[in-house]
Amino acid sequence: MAIDLTSLLAHEMAALLRSGSTSSRALTEAHLAVAERQNHALNAWLLIDREGALRQADAADARIAAARRDGLDGVAGLAALHPLHGIPVGLKDLISVEGGQCTAGSRILAGYRAPYDAHIVERLRAVGAVFLGKTNMDEFAMGSSNEYSAYGPVSNPWDLDTVPGGSSGGSAAAVAAHHVPLSLGTDTGGSIRQPAALCGIVGMKPTYGRVSRYGIVAFASSLDQIGPFARDARDAAALLHAVAGRDARDSTSAPVSVPDELLHLAASDDEAASWLRGKRFGLPREYFVAGMDPDVERRIREGVAFLEDAGARVEDVSLPHTDYGLATYYIVAPAEASANLARYDGVRYGLSRRLEGGDFIADYLATRGEGFGAEVKRRIMLGTYALSAGYYDAFYLKAQKVRTLIKRDFDEVFASGIDALVAPTSPSVAFRFGARTADPVAMYLSDACTLPVNMAGLPGISIPCGLSEGLPVGLQLIGPAWSELMLFRAARAFEGLTAAASWSGMPPTHLAASNDGAGPTPADRAAALATLAAAALVAPR
């Protein structure tokens, strides 16, 4: 019976590669075919690099053949290969790949070509991964729905009329739709975990400093962190293992060792679940925010019950400064964005609008006015205001003090003996296009359960825990600094506990509809929904 290569998990693909049952070229061609066929309907990719991907796949196959010739029956040589060798990976389009595009989802970087590889790209090249292309994203990673991309929104493969979450929506949708088994995103306030939850996959935000930011387009430098998407915990752990580690070019990259145990999570569901016995989890009451979808809360509490049934202790805890997290984040992040985006001046990068008369200031304003989208302009203005004379102490400095209190809350809970926190990832499931774009505050509330983790610099992971009205719900696990291995073990244990659930491993329900290359694009769907919403507003009562 022929195997659908794109339905396999990355570690299953790796086993086939080592056994000689398939090749990296075959894997890459299968994924390219699906991505190219479905991108019209999903818009998950800003670049699909067929030629480059096949070239890398052939190189991976050559290395596998050479490894098979080494050692006793080739076992020793094959064992030395990283589990990601020959496996397709998607890269969020703010990651620099030498000679390739790096738009960060913005018109202002149209035409820009990266002059060097990001640190994580160097790491992936070293282990033999195959880059399928660059994924869509909210402009400069500012958004929670992927509706703020200058290149059009992304559809969620579970329901093409809904968003995949953001800002790493393209990376999440590509993994959920089986275009790639693995992808990388960035998480500034939830931009990995929230789209992972809305798309029904695994997504981790590592400890700040675990992965080098060298070669990544910056949004908010004290918050940004690179992390993996996958369809199960073992694959996500292997991707983190490949990209994590100290990099002297990034002063915030920590000299903390990367545990090789990330490559050896339990294969057996029963063995994985047994790890939970005796573990203590905290359930923070503040994460069940006002306005949370009641069905989402039910799925989370069902997930908590699974943990308790497996022998874990779940205790109510309090993180009292959580309620200030949203306001604090939306002072700190825009302030850092205002500083980071000042470099886009029409001279050094991408788009340039040169007006007659040689007036540099006029050129500068024209370039930024045309190149930046509305959400980016909004955040630049907020950040510039918060940093301006007379307001710095009242806003930015006070926000940094509150940030310290948010981190102290986490420290005190973990110091009490709690191993990890369990909480919702998102207060709702995927919402329809246009449902929140007219109300920025409602959009910002999408990250209410995720952004405190960024403020504290801690690791967090989102894992699927069921469906609400046919759409995925994500369970979030949060640990102390450098506890990624523990979080992956907990995530793998939860997978083992829920392996028999009807939703476990279920493919997105709208994948078949994504194959229609002549149907509406996500932009078409968004426009149609906007028209319906406008008509409803003016309809007679």
Catalytic positions are: 92, 167, 191
- Amino acid in the structure at residue 200: G
User: Sign of the C-alpha dihedral, residues 74, 75, 77, 82?
Assistant: positive
What is the rounded distance in angstroms from the CA atom of residue 235 to the CA atom of residue 87? Answer: 11
- HSE, side-chain direction, 13 A CA sphere, residue 43: 27
User: Sign of the C-alpha dihedral, residues 506, 512, 514, 519?
Assistant: negative
Q: Which residues contact 115 (CB under 8 A, 6 or more apart)?
A: 96, 98
- Can you list the alpha helix ranges (DSSP code H) found in 7-133? 10-19, 24-42, 50-69, 75-79, 119-127
Residue with token string 């070019």 = 249
What is the rounded distance in angstroms from the CA atom of residue 138 to the CA atom of residue 147? Answer: 6
Query: Starting at the edge strand that comes first in sequence, how are the strands of the sheet with 88-92 ordered?
Result: 45-48, 130-135, 88-92, 182-186, 226-230, 202-205, 460-468, 471-478, 420-424, 280-284, 313-317
What is the rounded distance in angstroms from the CA atom of residue 89 to the CA atom of residue 82? Answer: 14
Closest by CA to 209, choosing from 247, 180, 178, is 247
What is the rounded distance in angstroms from the CA atom of residue 190 to the CA atom of residue 451? Answer: 6
Contact 452, 205 (CB under 8 A): no
Q: Residue 348: what are its φ and ψ, rounded to 5°? A: -100, -25
Contact 435, 427 (CB under 8 A): no
What is the rounded distance in angstroms from the CA atom of residue 257 to the CA atom of residue 98? Answer: 27
- Amino acid in the structure at residue 404: T
- Can you list the alpha helix ranges (DSSP code H) found in 372-516? 374-387, 398-415, 440-444, 451-456, 484-497
Contact 41, 49 (CB under 8 A): no
Contact 103, 93 (CB under 8 A): yes
